[in-house]
């Protein structure tokens, strides 16, 4: 079965938690595409060369989850040649047999507009900053400022800006706990799989 679940949205909205749960529930492969941009940003040197020569080992660095790595990722992610270097890999991953979940910023709009399910997971900047602050600590106002700065860069760039695809289902997690958000996503995917099966094998 070729079946892609595209999950987009801003930082700390809950995409990762939902993606992992959906992948586990349906036995789909999962790709956190933010990790690709984080690895490019962390590699240093020319970001285009870094993207063109990215290796699995680059994705295993243990410093990719920091706030600084997120900011570095969003700075290299505005460069069209960096995005282009990462496109084929993501597209192949999305259409692999057996099903795939990809989370990022442009999966439903650019990488896989033909995805069978598109979710846009969001929450207010304050709620997202609070969640991130619980993980990283420090000054909560500064975490909020970084969230807002990253949103602005990701939504304002010319190439593949963050936005919901026209046919995406929006899940606002501001007032949802993770079990409720996961439950909503799973029932949407379940319904789409049933519809896909009803239309015959591909």
Q: Does 105 bind ligand C5P (CB under 6 A)?
A: yes
The b/e string for 58-87 (b: 16+ C-beta within 10 A; e otherwise) is beeeeebeebebbbbbbbbbbbeebbebbe
Q: Which is nearer to ligand C5P, 77 or 181 (CB)?
A: 77
Of 3 and 38, nearer to ligand C5P (C-beta) is 38
CA 191 to chain centre: 22
Nearest to 73 by CA among 57, 54, 88, 56: 54
Cβ at position 194, least distance to ligand C5P in Å = 28
Query: Measured from the CB atom, is 42 or 191 closer to ligand C5P?
Result: 42
Query: Helix, strand, coil: what percent of the chain each, to 5?
Result: 55, 10, 30
Site for ligand C5P in 4-43 (CB under 6 A): 11, 33-34, 37-38
Q: Given the rule CB under 6 A, which of 70-78, 116-124, 141-149, 180-188 is the region that contacts ligand C5P?
A: 70-78
DSSP result, 57-112 = GGGG-TTTTSHHHHHHHHHHTT-HHHHHHHHHHHHHHHTSTT-EEEEESSIIIII-
Which residue's CB is nearer to ligand C5P, number 4 or number 74?
74
CA pair distance 182, 21, nearest whole angstrom: 7
How many chain residues touch ligand C5P (CB under 6 A)?
Answer: 14
- For ligand C5P, give the closer residue by CB, 33 or 173: 33
Q: Which residue is nearest to ligand C5P (CB)?
A: 34
User: What is the smallest separation between the CB atom of 86 and ligand C5P, expressed in angstroms?
Assistant: 8
DSSP 121: E
Give the one residue of 109, 150, 165, 168 binding ligand C5P; rule: CB under 6 A.
150
Does 85 bind ligand C5P (CB under 6 A)? Our answer is no
A 10 A CB-CB count for 129 gives: 22
The phi and psi torsions of 114 (rounded to 5 degrees) equal -90, 10
Nearer to ligand C5P, 19 or 116 (CB): 19
The residues binding ligand C5P (CB under 6 A) are 11, 33-34, 37-38, 70, 73-74, 77, 104-106, 150, 154
């Amino acid at each position: 079965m070729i079946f892609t679940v595209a999950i987009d949205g801003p930082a700390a909205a809950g995409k990762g938690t939902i993606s992992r749960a959906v992948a586990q529930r349906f036995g789909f492969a999962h790709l956190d595409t933010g990790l690709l941009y984080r690895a490019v940003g962390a590699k240093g040197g020319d970001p285009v060369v870094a993207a063109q020569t990215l290796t699995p080992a680059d994705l295993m660095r243990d410093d990719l989850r920091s706030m600084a790595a997120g900011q570095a990722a969003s700075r290299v992610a505005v460069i069209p040649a960096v995005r282009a270097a990462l496109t084929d890999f993501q597209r192949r991953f999305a259409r692999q047999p057996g099903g795939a979940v990809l989370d990022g910023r442009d999966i439903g709009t650019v990488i896989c507009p033909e995805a069978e399910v598109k979710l846009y997971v969001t929450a207010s900047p304050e709620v997202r900053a609070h969640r991130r602050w619980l993980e990283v600590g420090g000054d909560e106002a500064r975490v909020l400022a970084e969230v807002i700065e990253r949103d602005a860069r990701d939504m304002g760039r010319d190439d593949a800006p963050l936005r919901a695809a026209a046919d995406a289902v929006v899940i606002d997690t501001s007032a949802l706990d993770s079990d409720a958000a996961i439950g909503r996503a799973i029932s949407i995917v379940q319904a789409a799989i049933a519809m896909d099966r009803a239309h015959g094998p591909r």
